Amino acid sequence: MRNAKRLLALLLTMCLLLPLASCGKEETPTATAGGEEVVTMTDAEALAKFIADFKAGVYDDQRLFNYEDLTQFITLPDYKSFTYPDHPDIATKATDEQVEIFYMMIVLDMIVKEEGHTTLTEGEICRWDVVTMDYRAEWPDGTPVFGIDFKDQSLRIGSNEFMEGFESGLLGKKIGEEIRLDLHYPVYYDRMALADKDVVFYVTVKSVKRPTIPEEVTVEQLNAVSSVEYESVEKVKEHLKEVMDTNAVTVSYTNIANYLYRKLSQGSQMKAYPEKETQYLYDQQMEILLASAGGSDNYESYCQETYSMSYEALCDMILEESRAEVQSQMALLQVARELNVQVSDEQLSAYIIGSYETENEYFADLYSFIQGNVQLNGPDVFYLRVLNALAMNELAALAKLQ
């Protein structure tokens, strides 16, 4: 496990240290006023200006969590003695069963395809069926789980896409009936409020698309849908295992990081919640809630119909979630300070460039990408994400397997 952690630390560092040269040379308009000549700068200049302004304090009045002393708000647990449990979710190799499932997904999606499925609205649910379902979740006391109420969702039964027990719990059940699943979220689940918790799902499968599975798949069929020429079906599976082994290491490290992050947050004690940050996160969640109401002028009815709770109760829940997020972020920032984690200009540049290259289809240039993110998410958006990743890397390096 130590080797896996070191490898992921290296991968993280490599991702953060992408060369500055990858920044484009496109000229970027920065201002026009009264017919004056447009001031332009290259993407590299736009990036350099943002980082220089950020370091010089130009954005300080807009920044979140920018306090000289975070201990006025929070007390940390003894995170240097953290351990994490052994668990299948931190395996560094893919199992033979996982490889076979991945292989089957390729066969069904790329060879059998849509035309090889038959739609059914009655009967029992079988493995490899693609179900269309509605589902919601409740805590064991009957309170709705906020954010888990979905309609017309698709899922391939047997893909292991959902949490353990969900897909197997649907096997053999009737299409059209409401199915109750008493499940437990894994300790390494990435949503803090759900990790290591019991939850009750109510699922109604409305229809299924059942595949006609071929008795034999040839390497010629696989090569026809692949960019690589394989000698045999066995070679295809060997390649899949190599890819999945690499992914397993990444997932393993991510799961450990999520677990330690949750342990750090839950073990921290808040002395007070800073008003600015709490209000900012609360307002963001409320904007989502009000937008999802579709302009309704009766939020009370919407909340009752959608979440089975009053508007006031839902606002209280959102406030608690906002406070929990403030606590988590402050805890990680304080760890970064105590461990003297620093974000270099190169690391910050690399992250911004990498993010831009992923999303550049939505922006005219790097300047507009930076300004759009600053306006939407605040000027800390890039810095905090890099700092959080580096701090989690340090926290994971300190932790030991139980």
- 236-269 pLDDT, tens digit per residue, is 999 999 999 999 999 999 899 989 999 999 999 9
Instruction: Kindly indicate the confidence band of residue 144, based on its pLDDT and cuts at 50, 70 and 90.
Output: confident
Using the predicted structure, report yes or no on whether residue 15 has a pLDDT greater than 80. Answer: no
* Rounded distance between C-alpha atoms, residue 226 and residue 142, angstroms: 48
Structure tokens at 79: 């995170």
Percent of the chain with pLDDT over 90: 68
**pTM to 2 decimals?**
0.78
Specify the pLDDT at position 306: 77
Q: Is the dihedral of CA 281, 283, 288, 289 positive or negative?
A: positive
The type of residue at 25 is: K
Specify the pLDDT at position 356: 93
Using the predicted structure, report yes or no on whether residue 29 has a pLDDT greater than 50. Answer: no
The neighbour count for residue 255, using CB atoms within 10 Å, is: 21
Ranking 3-17, 63-77, 283-297, 329-343 by mean pLDDT, the lowest is: 3-17
Using the predicted structure, report yes or no on whether residue 30 has a pLDDT greater than 60. Answer: no
Using the predicted structure, report yes or no on whether residue 284 has a pLDDT greater than 60. Answer: yes
Cα Rg of the chain, angstroms: 25
Using the predicted structure, report yes or no on whether residue 10 has a pLDDT greater than 80. Answer: no
- Contact assessment for residue 64 and residue 378, using Cβ atoms and an 8 Å cutoff: yes
The DSSP bridge pattern shows strands 27-31 and 39-42 to be antiparallel
Ranking 29-38, 48-57, 220-229, 322-331 by mean pLDDT, the lowest is: 29-38
Using the predicted structure, report yes or no on whether residue 285 has a pLDDT greater than 90. Answer: no
Instruction: Round the average pLDDT of the chain to a whole number and report it.
Output: 87
Domains of the chain by residue range: 2-76+268-401, 96-232
Displacement of CA 295 from its chain's centroid (Å): 28
Specify the pLDDT at position 18: 34
Which long-range contacts link 183-191 to residues 24+ away (Cβ below 8 Å)?
186/87, 186/89, 187/85, 187/87, 187/89, 187/259, 188/87, 188/89, 188/90, 188/255, 188/256, 188/258, 188/259, 189/163, 189/258, 190/254, 190/255, 190/258
Mean of pLDDT values over 134-156: 92
Specify the pLDDT at position 9: 37
- Contact assessment for residue 265 and residue 82, using Cβ atoms and an 8 Å cutoff: no
- Contact assessment for residue 184 and residue 193, using Cβ atoms and an 8 Å cutoff: no
The CATH fold of domain 96-232: Chitinase A; domain 3 (3.10.50)
- Contact assessment for residue 260 and residue 84, using Cβ atoms and an 8 Å cutoff: yes
Mean of pLDDT values over 148-176: 95
Mean of pLDDT values over 51-58: 94
The neighbour count for residue 120, using CB atoms within 10 Å, is: 15
Specify the pLDDT at position 33: 44
- 165-201 pLDDT, tens digit per residue, is 999 999 999 999 999 999 999 999 988 889 999 999 9
Specify the pLDDT at position 74: 97
User: Among candidates 153, 98, 107, which has minimal Cα distance to 130?
Assistant: 153
Of 9 and 79, more confident: 79
* Rounded distance between C-alpha atoms, residue 137 and residue 201, angstroms: 4
User: Among candidates 202, 241, 240, 208, which has minimal Cα distance to 128?
Assistant: 208
Using the predicted structure, report yes or no on whether residue 156 has a pLDDT greater than 80. Answer: yes
Instruction: Kindly indicate the confidence band of residue 73, based on its pLDDT and cuts at 50, 70 and 90.
Output: very high
| CB burial string 281-302: b at 16+ within 10 A, e below | bbeebeeebeeebeeeeebeeb
Q: Is the dihedral of CA 58, 61, 62, 68 positive or negative?
A: positive
* Rounded distance between C-alpha atoms, residue 151 and residue 172, angstroms: 21
Using the predicted structure, report yes or no on whether residue 32 has a pLDDT greater than 70. Answer: no
* Rounded distance between C-alpha atoms, residue 354 and residue 17, angstroms: 10
Q: Is the dihedral of CA 137, 143, 145, 151 positive or negative?
A: positive
- Contact assessment for residue 158 and residue 101, using Cβ atoms and an 8 Å cutoff: yes
- 187-236 pLDDT, tens digit per residue, is 999 888 899 999 999 999 999 999 999 999 999 999 999 988 999 999 99
Phi and psi angles of residue 68, each rounded to the nearest 5 degrees, phi first: -65, -35
- Contact assessment for residue 354 and residue 24, using Cβ atoms and an 8 Å cutoff: no
* Rounded distance between C-alpha atoms, residue 322 and residue 277, angstroms: 9
